[in-house]
Amino acid sequence: MIVSGKQLITEEKLAHLYASMEENKKKPGPLMPTLHEAQKIFGCVPLSIQKIISRELDQSIAKINGVVTFYSQFSIEPKGENIINVCLGTACYVRGSQGILDAFSDELKIAPGETTADGIFTLQATRCIGACGLAPVITVNQTVHGNCSVQNAKEILKNFKKTL
C-alpha cells in the first residue's frame, strides 16, 4: 500500500513491529501495547498488520479487529502525518467548537474523519479530552490549544503550516 508517495509497510517498519512484539510478549496482555506500537509505526493498523499480530500473539483476527475498531486511537485507514483534533465534548461544544470544526473542514477541504489528499493532515472530532477549563480546545498533534475561536483556529493552522 502506498500512502502519499511513501510505502506504508516497509521491511524496516516490520522489523520494528516484530521487535516490539517480542518485548510485549513478556507482559501480561500484550495486545494493547502492540497495537499502540503498530499505530505509531504505520500510522494505522490495517488488516495486513492485524494478520501478523494475530499470528505472533496467537489471537484471532476478529478479536484484534474488535479492539482496533473499538478504540478511536486506532485506525484501519492510514492517517495523515499531522492530526488535528477538535473537541466536541459538552463544554467545548456549548462554547462553539462545532464552528471551529467546520472552519477546519472548509480550510482543509475535507470532512471530519478524513485525510487531505497530500496526506499531511487528518481532521478529527473527539470526545472530551479533559481540558474543559480551556474550552473550546483543539489539539494539533501533541500540542493543546485552548480558548479557541474560528478566527484563531485559522491562524493556528496557518502558523503550523509554516513549520512544515
Partner 1 sequence: MSNLVTLTIDGRPVSVPGDYTVLRAAEVAGIKIPRLCFLEGIHEASNCRVCVVKIEGQKGLKTSCSTQVQDGMIIKTNTKEVYDTVSFNLELLAGNHKFECWKCSRENSCEFLDLLRRYNVENDFSNAKLFDQKDILFNDTSGAMVIDSSKCVLCGRCVSACEKLSGLGILNFNKRGSKTFVGPALFHNLEDSGCIYCGKCIQACPTGALREDDQIKTFERALRDPNKVVVVQVAPAVRAALGEEFGYKIGTNVEGQLFASLKELGVNEIIDTNFTADLTIMEEGHEFINRLNHQGVLPMFTSCSPGWINYLEMYYPEYIPNLSSCKSPQQMAGALIKTYYAERLNKAAKDIVSVSIMPCVAKKAEAKRPEMGRDGLRDVDIVLTTRELARLIRHQGIPFRDLEPSKPFGALASYTGAASIFGASGGVMEAALRTVSEILEGHSTPIEFTEVRGSEEIKEATYTIHGNEIRVAVVQGGRAIKEFLEHMKTGTKTYHFVEFMGCVGGCVNGGGQPIVPAEIQEKVDVRAKRAKVLYAIDEATEFRKSHLNPAIQEIYESFLDKPNSHLAHTLLHTKYTKRSPYSGS
* Closer residue to partner 1, CB minimum distance, 61 or 111: 61
Residues at the interface with partner 1 (CB under 8 A): 47, 50-51, 59-66, 69-70, 76
Residue number, 64 or 156, with CB nearest to partner 1? 64
Q: Which residues in 149-163 are b (16+ Cβ under 10 Å) and which e?
A: ebeebeebbeebeee
The least CB distance from residue 135 to partner 1, in Å, is 23
| Short-list 129, 128, 130, 109, CA closest to 120 | 109
Q: Which three cell numbers stand for residue 14?
A: 516490520
CB of 47 to partner 1, least distance (A): 6
Q: With respect to partner 1, which residue has the nearer C-beta, 46 or 136? A: 46
Q: How far apart (Å, rounded) are the C-alpha atoms in residues 51 and 41?
A: 16
For the bound state, the minimum distance from the C-beta of residue 4 to partner 1, rounded and expressed in Å, comes to 21
